[in-house]
């Protein structure tokens, strides 16, 4: 009950901050100096948030599609020899700094959303890939044998048995990727992508902590809500797969 009230309060605060940010000016005034503006108004906070979420959603969707496909491939008999290569590629994407990816992508793609999408895509591969690999590799052999005994083809076993059972663990990886990407996307504003990093950078450049807090607060509230939404989705998926009994 307390958790639900907290989430409702977080959602209400986020909606109010995006819809009528000027109402929060008195709260941010103590963070300003020399009569600096307490609320970032150069661009609509709502528009920046929607643009930020759009970039993150597109990058996470692409990372999930590629990582799940890669996880499925290396858990099939014909693709097991590619496991070391696939894991290396996913690991490099996670360990290579997003800032470095931006620096390399800008000369080829120009400024804007493109380099940010590339950085987020690469950064989001590893959690989904590893969770997909773990989920598909640890399925109960008895279940697979039962599906085989029912006469299901390999494709049918994958879509009707393996992926539904693996979905909760895969979604946990997607949840981690989404939260990481949500925070990492703020650096996209350094290459002219429309993200909430614009507010934070404006605060740093003008020595105005109020802007920094606003950008960080919105990203933090979004992260909490997205994290909880994915947890609910994971729970629903586990119940649908019969791994958790409905209450």
Q: What is the pLDDT of residues 31-75, one digit of tens each?
A: 888 888 999 988 899 999 999 999 999 999 999 999 999 999 999
| Residue with the two structure tokens 């890669």 | 70
Grouping H, G, I as helix, E, B as strand and the rest as coil, residue 108 is helix
Q: What is the pLDDT of residues 204-239, one digit of tens each?
A: 999 999 999 999 999 999 999 999 999 999 999 988
**pTM attached to this predicted model:** 0.91
Residue 40: Cβ-neighbour burial (10 angstroms; 0-12, 13-18, 19+): buried
Instruction: Band the pLDDT of 246: cuts 50, 70, 90.
Output: low
Cα distances (angstroms) measured from residue 245 to each of 125, 160, 230, 234, 242: 31, 20, 19, 14, 6
Task: Show the CA angle centred on residue 117, arms to residues 111 and 122, nearest 5°.
Answer: 125
Least confidently predicted of 25-34, 91-100, 176-185, 186-195? 91-100
* pLDDT at position 143: 82
Band of residue 94 on the pLDDT scale cut at 50, 70, 90: confident
Report d(CA 76, CA 151) in Å as an integer: 18
Average pLDDT, the chain: 90
Instruction: Determine the CATH number of domain 43-240.
Output: 1.10.3720.10
CA-wise closest residue to 195 among 47, 18, 61, 13: 47
């Amino acid at each position: 009950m307390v958790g639900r009230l907290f989430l409702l309060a977080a959602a209400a605060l986020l909606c109010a901050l995006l819809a009528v940010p000027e109402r929060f000016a008195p709260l941010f005034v103590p963070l300003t100096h020399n009569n600096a503006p307490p609320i970032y108004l150069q661009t609509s906070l709502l528009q920046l948030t929607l643009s930020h979420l759009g970039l993150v959603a597109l990058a996470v969707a692409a990372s999930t599609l590629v990582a799940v496909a890669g996880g499925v491939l290396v858990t099939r008999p014909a693709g097991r020899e590619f496991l070391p290569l696939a894991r290396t590629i996913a690991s490099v994407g996670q360990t290579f700094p997003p800032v470095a990816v931006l620096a390399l992508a800008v000369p080829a793609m120009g400024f804007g959303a493109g380099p940010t999408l590339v950085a987020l895509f690469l950064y989001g591969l590893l959690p989904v890939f590893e969770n997909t690999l773990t989920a598909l590799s640890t399925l109960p052999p008895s279940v697979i044998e039962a599906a085989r005994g029912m006469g299901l083809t390999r494709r049918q076993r994958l879509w009707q048995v393996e992926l539904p059972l693996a979905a909760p663990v895969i979604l946990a990886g997607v949840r981690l990727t989404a939260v990481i990407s949500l925070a990492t996307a703020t650096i996209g504003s350094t290459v002219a992508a429309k993200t909430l990093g614009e507010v934070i950078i404006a605060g740093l450049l003008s020595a105005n902590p109020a802007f920094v807090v606003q950008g960080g607060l919105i990203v933090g509230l979004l992260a909490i809500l997205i994290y909880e939404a994915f947890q609910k989705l994971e729970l629903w998926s586990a119940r649908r797969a019969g791994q958790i009994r409905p209450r």
